Structure 1
Amino acid sequence: MHLSTYLGLLHTSLGTLAAAFREIAAGHGDEPDVQHMCEVLAGRTDSQAGHLWPFVQRYGEHREDEPERLHAAEVTETRGGGVGLLRDLQDLYALASFTDITWTVVGQAAQGLRDRELLDVVSSCEKETKRQLSWLTTRIKQAAPQALIAAAN
């Protein structure tokens, strides 16, 4: 069974996403809403990892490097200015999207296994990840005109 591979991917991506949210929060303290929300979302991502943990123990986990590679390639440090904020938010969006689709894959396995407990966790955590993606989309839309047009004048 390869569920352990995807549990490993998901567990790792959650840790990476939480760390990335914290990194962006610390690097963009001049944007109080970004700093605050990224700290909140980091905590919620940690909570998702906590909810996943019993299933990692039940089914095992095989760790892969994809989330770390994505984190290392795109969110190793924050960038300055409006365009930097925009790019950092896009990096978070990419990592959150990876996490989201990995929840989907794990959910499909849970359906196949008829594991009601895992399905409940997946359902709850997918909703949370969608909220993260929604906030990121809204904040990117807010930052884009300022960064791409107003700052150029």
Structure 2
Amino acid sequence: MQLPHYLGLLENSEKQLMEAFEYVADKHKDEPDIEQMCQKLSAWSREHHGRTQAFVAKYSEEKEDEPDKLKRELFAKKRKGSLALLRDLHDLWLLTQEVHLCWVVIRQAALGLRDEDLKACYEFCNARTQRQADWLLSRIKQAAPQTLLVAE
């Protein structure tokens, strides 16, 4: 069974997303909504990470470090100025897509296994992951014109 591989990938993806939201919240405290929303969205990922623990234990765990590599690549450059916020939001959105895809794959496994608890976990967590991505996309759209068209 390969499910443990994806559970490990999902668990680590949620952890990396949580840490990335915290990083952006701290880095962009001067933006009116960024710190508060990123802390809230980080808490959601922390809860999702916690909810996956029972399934990791149930199906055994296989650690996966791919999301760690992704986060390291996305947030590698020290950015400054107005472009920094836009790029950080963009990178967060990419990480949410990684988490979303993991949840989609896990859902398919839950359906195949007829694991109602895993399916319920998917429904709860994936809906919130979609809300994370939606907020990020909305905030990116808000920041883009000012960032890209107004000289610093």
TM more than 0.5: yes
CA distance in 1, matches of 2:78, 2:87: 9
Q: Is the 8 A contact 1:103 1:122 kept in 2?
A: yes
Q: Which segments of 5 or more consecutive residues in structure 2 lack a partner in the other structure?
A: none
Matches within 5 A, 1:94-113: 94-113=94-113
Task: Count residues with an aligned counterpart.
Answer: 152
CA distance in 2, matches of 1:20, 1:142: 20
CA distance in 1, matches of 2:53, 2:78: 29
CA distance in 2, matches of 1:68, 1:85: 21
Runs of 4+ in structure 1 deviating by more than 6 angstroms, as ranges, are none
Structure 2 residue identity aligned to 1:122: Y
Q: Normalization by structure 1: what TM-score? A: 0.96
CA distance in 1, matches of 2:141, 2:25: 18
Q: Secondary structure at the match of 2:151?
A: helix
Other-structure match for 1:118? 118
Other-structure match for 1:150? 150
1:37-87: CA deviations, max 9, x gaps? 000000011011111111111001211221000011112466222211100
Is 2:121 the partner of 1:130? no
CA distance in 2, matches of 1:17, 1:77: 17
Structure 2 residue identity aligned to 1:10: L
Q: Is the 8 A contact 1:18 1:46 kept in 2?
A: yes
Q: Normalization by structure 2: what TM-score? A: 0.96
Q: Which segments of 5 or more consecutive residues in structure 1 lack a partner in the other structure?
A: none
Q: Secondary structure at the match of 2:64?
A: coil
Other-structure match for 1:20? 20
1:74-131: CA deviations, max 9, x gaps? 1246622221110000100011100000000001000000000000000111100000
Structure 1 residue identity aligned to 2:30: D
> Could you say what the CA RMSD is over the residues aligned between the two structures, in angstroms?
1.2
